[in-house]
Structure 1
């Protein structure tokens, strides 16, 4: 590679384009993420390669492949961007009345949950820091932890099936869902008294990909594995097709059950409860605005008290406790007062 004695703004732009290509693993996906044409994206990558004096990746009919030089550049670029973000955060602490941007990542399916109070936290935070601009992005759960850890997102809100020591966690509330099938699925017509757990266990199961450690009993063998829907809407489309059964969040399932599009399969025995948490990375932990926003998130959800765990709707469940109701264990370092209700 050529020796670069000076980094310019255009270099940062080109590096961000390259990082997006690597993370998306394709030019087409990177085009959509960056809102750039293919010709512009290709020209940006070519300019970066000329600037560095090395070919970074293969693109074309044979698909995308990152070369060794590209791996080195990608890692260095991520470290560079994390350092820039850390500088911005520390500089903002000098005078918090200065206009600043707070980046929030939210997992899909959380904002519309009736017990999510993200909007209340934003409003409360804005009363204290009216000059802060929010940048909010809805993303898939498996993307969330990585972006928080890299410092690209200051605060993440989502379901974490693994707890990493470099991240800090605060429990906000629990979301719950029912195992459902659509009207097109063979199990839909079987009466409750005739429907057994063995029937449910034998059906092809559609997962959300990154959440399977919350309910590993559904992925213990290959013959029961169905389709994978990355994102709650994608999973729902696959369940509605009749190809699979799968967990559907109750606030999404209820109207579809009432309309006859979905059926909850033995809700007296089968449901899932997942903890929704706020998380910060090591850089954001020293960023006062990020910590204050997490405090607002925790406060508004704690004010709900026992309502943080959604009640089981009478239209779907009877009065018994599901046999496989899953409890919540707070992650290390979480506040004792934020355990599940």
Structure 2
């Protein structure tokens, strides 16, 4: 019988099992973790059983269509995530002490920021070209970016500032303008006159999965939700079906407007301003690459007249540019 962890020192074997368990949780189950781990399902199942034997507790409920952590599993996963985040941080700092060795910077961003002239990321990364850094850049939905920063899987992220997560620090960089749109196949597209808010309420909207709908009260009439999306491009695809109305960043929608694929509705009253912020772990000592990127982002915003950090008060992450705050 295995000796429980806690009564003996943690071994390299224990660390390997904990990494397997962490991957299983983050991939959403044993079967889903096969590709990430590169081993067979029976091997993963045995490794998980070995870890449970070491702890003397069941860490998760698993079945063909179910994977759920037990209370003990929740505790072990959180501790393992913090452990490996600390190990990675130590390795990065040790590399810098040794000097001459390449550091790593892991950045997560939301999709379709490349079309926003206000976004300072390209200029900031360009200013780091003299640093010996290996960059890892991932395009993800806002909730996933923040979750991975919490877990230590990303060093820094750029996200729209709708709500703040516990344990994270936010540094506002710039703002993007959001407007209400419909696609060419929608019945409102060919209308000569603008619809009123009562009429808008009869049409289905695309809900942004990471936004509390109450944050948009005052910008458009309450309406029924017909679809949910977590990326800008997903919203645009749904709008182009002609079945929905929804909000998009102006910079992203502009080319589709020129092509006659989207129409902006109630431009004078339905827009709102969304702040975009750099997000990183609160209270943690930031590595040198993270500090350099934060400084470069700030400098890029300050140098670009079109990319100044938003200075309007933020409530719920939404600035309105003159409309009443929700």
TM-score interval, normalised by the smaller of the two chains: 0.7 to 0.9
2:324 is matched with which residue?
A: none
CA distance in 1, matches of 2:286, 2:308: 31
1:300 is matched with which residue?
A: 300
2:49 is matched with which residue?
A: 49
SS in 2 for 1:3: coil
Tell me whether 1:124 sits opposite 2:121 in the alignment.
no
2:228 is matched with which residue?
A: 228
2:249 is matched with which residue?
A: 249
Shift of the 233–3 alpha-carbon distance from structure 1 to 2, 3 Å rule, reads same
1:75-111: CA deviation from partner (whole Å, max 9, x where unpaired): 2211212321332344345355432111111122223
CA distance in 2, matches of 1:149, 1:126: 27
The alignment covers a number of residue pairs equal to 310
Contact map agreement 2:30 2:44 (CA 8 A) in 1: no
2:104 is matched with which residue?
A: 101
SS in 1 for 2:277: strand
User: Which range moves more in the overlay, 21-30 or 223-232?
Assistant: 21-30
CA shift at 1:56, angstroms? 2.9
Tell me whether 1:289 sits opposite 2:292 in the alignment.
no
CA distance in 1, matches of 2:141, 2:263: 26
CA shift at 1:216, angstroms? 3.0
Could you tell me which runs of 5 or more consecutive residues in structure 1 were left unpaired when the two chains were aligned: 311-325, 332-339
Give the alignment partner of residue 82 of structure 2, picking from 72, 75, 79. 79
Contact map agreement 1:180 1:245 (CA 8 A) in 2: yes
1:113 is matched with which residue?
A: 116
CA distance in 2, matches of 1:12, 1:156: 28
CA distance in 1, matches of 2:281, 2:80: 18
CA distance in 1, matches of 2:171, 2:313: 12
1:329 is matched with which residue?
A: 313
CA shift at 1:114, angstroms? 3.0
5 Å matches for 1:268-283?
268-282=268-282
Shift of the 139–35 alpha-carbon distance from structure 1 to 2, 3 Å rule, reads farther
SS in 2 for 1:70: helix
SS in 2 for 1:162: coil
Could you tell me which runs of 5 or more consecutive residues in structure 2 were left unpaired when the two chains were aligned: 316-320, 322-326
CA distance in 2, matches of 1:55, 1:235: 41
Tell me whether 1:147 sits opposite 2:165 in the alignment.
no
1:197 is matched with which residue?
A: 197
SS in 2 for 1:184: coil
2:217 is matched with which residue?
A: 217
CA distance in 1, matches of 2:314, 2:178: 20
CA distance in 2, matches of 1:147, 1:21: 15
Contact map agreement 1:2 1:52 (CA 8 A) in 2: no
CA shift at 1:327, angstroms? 8.3
1:3 is matched with which residue?
A: 4
User: Which range moves more in the overlay, 244-253 or 87-96?
Assistant: 87-96
Shift of the 200–148 alpha-carbon distance from structure 1 to 2, 3 Å rule, reads same
Tell me whether 1:67 sits opposite 2:74 in the alignment.
no
Contact map agreement 1:171 1:275 (CA 8 A) in 2: yes
In the superposition, the TM-score normalised over structure 1's length comes to: 0.78
CA distance in 2, matches of 1:239, 1:10: 51
CA shift at 1:227, angstroms? 0.8
1:28-65: CA deviation from partner (whole Å, max 9, x where unpaired): 65456x274xx625522431322431543233334222
1:251-309: CA deviation from partner (whole Å, max 9, x where unpaired): 2212212222211112122112111111221365432221111100111121112x127
